[in-house]
Amino acid sequence: MKKTLPILLFLFALPLLVWAKNDNLPAPGKYKLVIEGFDWGPAVSKVILPVDQNPKDLSTTDFEIFVSRSSQAGEIPAAQTSGKRSVVYGYPSDENGNRKEDGNHMTLVLAVSPVNPLGSPIQYLRTGNRGSNVWIDYSMTVVNTKTGNIWNEEAGRIRPIVDEFDLTGKFTHQNTTLTYASFSPKTIKEKAPLIIWLHGGGEGGTDPTIAMMGNKAFNYASPEIQVLFDGAFVLVPQTPTFWMQAAEGMTRGQVNDVYNAAVFALIQDYVAKNPKIDPARIYVGGCSNGGYMSLKLILEHPDYFAAGYISALAYNNEFITDAQVQKIKNVPMWFVHSKDDMTTKPDETVVPLYHRLKQAGAKNVYFTYYDNVTDITGFYGGENYRYNGHWSWIYSHANVARTDFDGSPVMLNGRPVTIMEWMAAQKKKK
């Protein structure tokens, strides 16, 4: 691969060399990226180009797009550093990519998929003894081979739904500072519930957009889910490292972690500063590391939360006492997990805990148990395409989990419901 890298870089730079030698060609232009969140993470799905002619006169087949991916935070595999993107189609638009027949911009829609790393503006990198997702330097050169136009300078980014969050949140408790993102519903009748999402182990840091876009966690602010709650606040706290960090090493519940007091104080502070939040409808959930922390918060504060929604639980059952099971058995909870999860093994975490809760008399606890994690969109193979078995949070974010452990539908008021429909109905008893 090292021998072919110089050739790839030369091919990537070739359009610029051609342009530089031809004084008759127009000056390079700027482009705007659209970064969407998908089940597997974010991808650059569109590029918006200002054009000096009617976009209808431009042919999508005349555009070639070259990308370069790099990072000072770590080394990206050579095969994922540069290459070409495929254009699916294009349309006239305004400067934000909204379709507009008399617009003076051309929006190119790009092919994306979970197996195309060239589409991703983030990278999982290991720094020190910890791995995490980070934003990388993602540069693009767009060439119209017919007109000679080139666009090679980024003018901005659009992130659907994510841009509706306040991304500036910061909270300090004692010696711990946490960043967070928050969303406020557009309309509130009287009081609105609060949905809290706690990210996985790879989304720590100080940029909460990673916590929302490392997977599709921002989707709790989507119109499809918001309508189920008649509008809901969404809070996405972020740890500087990972939720399961202990004083020494990592905990799966055998010892205390270092963050649960700080994140609960953050939640209390956010609720206090937003009096439109209904204190009887505060929901906490998360995946993997965040699943651990969600359960930890419920164990520590069982009377505070109206419900929990937890996927890929990383809290080991052996470290939960019978007294703790009794303490939380009346807290409504919905677990999501996959049988082939080799990271948070279900027989060590959620399966025995679920049965213990049921045996203790839990009446409002459910567990959707998948054989595998597959492509729920049907675009990439459907049931024939398998994601990592650890990624069961996909089913929660998309609001498609709807069955209990035995495969029967979860019923509410005589009708089958999804995980979010169920959660929207949960309210603490006074």
The confidence score (pLDDT) of residue 59 equals 93
Half-sphere exposure of 191 (CA within 13 A, CB side): 11
**For 108-117, what is each residue's pLDDT tens digit?**
999 999 999 9
**Has residue 257 been placed in a domain?**
yes
Residue 17 has pLDDT above 90, yes or no: no
- Are 416 and 390 found together in one domain? yes
| Domain match, 344 and 399 both | yes
Is residue 304 domain-shared with residue 413, that is, in the same domain? yes
Whether residue 13 is contained in a domain is answered as no
Looking only at the bridges linking them, the beta strands covering 333-338 and 307-311 are parallel
Q: Assign 17 to helix, strand or coil.
A: helix
- Scanning the structure block, which residue is given the tokens 């807290």? 331
Domain span at residue 209?
162-424
pLDDT, residue 27, reads 66
Percent of the chain's residues with pLDDT above 70? 94
Residue 97's pLDDT band (boundaries 50, 70, 90)? very high
Q: Are residues 88 and 35 in the same domain?
A: yes
Instruction: Report, in angstroms and rounded to the nearest whole number, the Rg of the chain calculated over CA atoms.
Output: 24
Distance between CA 372 and CA 309 in Å, rounded?
A: 19
**Residues 346 and 369 reside in one and the same domain:** yes
Statement to judge: residues 307 and 401 lie in one domain? yes
Task: State the pairing for strand pair 192-198/233-238.
Answer: parallel
- Indicate if 249 and 280 belong to the same structural domain: yes
Condensed to tens digits (0 to 9), the pLDDT of residues 142-158 reads 999 999 999 999 999 99
Helix, strand, or coil (residue 338): strand
Same domain, 149 and 174: no
Separation CA 155–CA 46 (nearest Å): 14
Q: Is residue 3 part of a domain?
A: no
For position 232, which CATH number holds? 3.40.50.1820
Instruction: Give the Cα separation of 194 and 306 in Å (integer).
Output: 10
Quote the CA–CA distance of 257 and 252 in Å, as a whole number.
9
Residue 12 within a domain: no
Residue 6 lies inside a defined structural domain of this protein: no
pLDDT (tens digit, 9 = 90+) per residue, 231-290?
999 999 999 999 999 999 999 999 999 999 999 999 999 999 999 999 999 999 999 999
pLDDT at 127: 76
211 and 316 co-located in one domain:
yes
Domain boundary residue among 103, 133, 158? 158
pLDDT tens for 1-14 read 444 444 444 444 44
pLDDT at residue 24, rounded to an integer: 53
CATH number at residue 116: 2.60.40.2180
- pTM greater than 0.75 (yes/no): yes
> In this structure, are 238 and 351 located in the same domain?
yes
How many domains are there within the chain?
2
Angstrom CA distances, 54 to 26, 93, 146, 256, 418, stand at 16, 11, 15, 63, 46
User: Same structural domain for residues 251 and 378?
Assistant: yes
Half-sphere exposure at residue 410, Cβ-oriented, CA atoms within 13 angstroms: 26
The answer, yes or no, to whether residue 310 has pLDDT greater than 50, is yes
Q: Given 123, 158, 193, which residue is the final one in a domain?
A: 158
Dihedral sign of CA atoms 184, 186, 188, 192 in order: negative
Segment 306-314 mean pLDDT: 98
187 band by pLDDT with thresholds 50, 70 and 90: confident
Determine the 3-state secondary structure of 113 from DSSP.
coil
Q: Is residue 271 part of a domain?
A: yes
Residue 18 lies in a domain: no
Dist. CA 302–CA 295, nearest whole Å? 10
* Residue 1 domain-assigned (yes or no): no
- Give the number of C-alpha atoms closer than 13 A to the C-alpha of residue 161, restricted to the C-beta side: 18
User: Are residues 112 and 248 located together in one domain of the fold?
Assistant: no
- As a whole number of angstroms, the distance between CA 9 and CA 7 comes to 5
> Which of 158, 185, 214 is the last residue before a domain boundary?
158
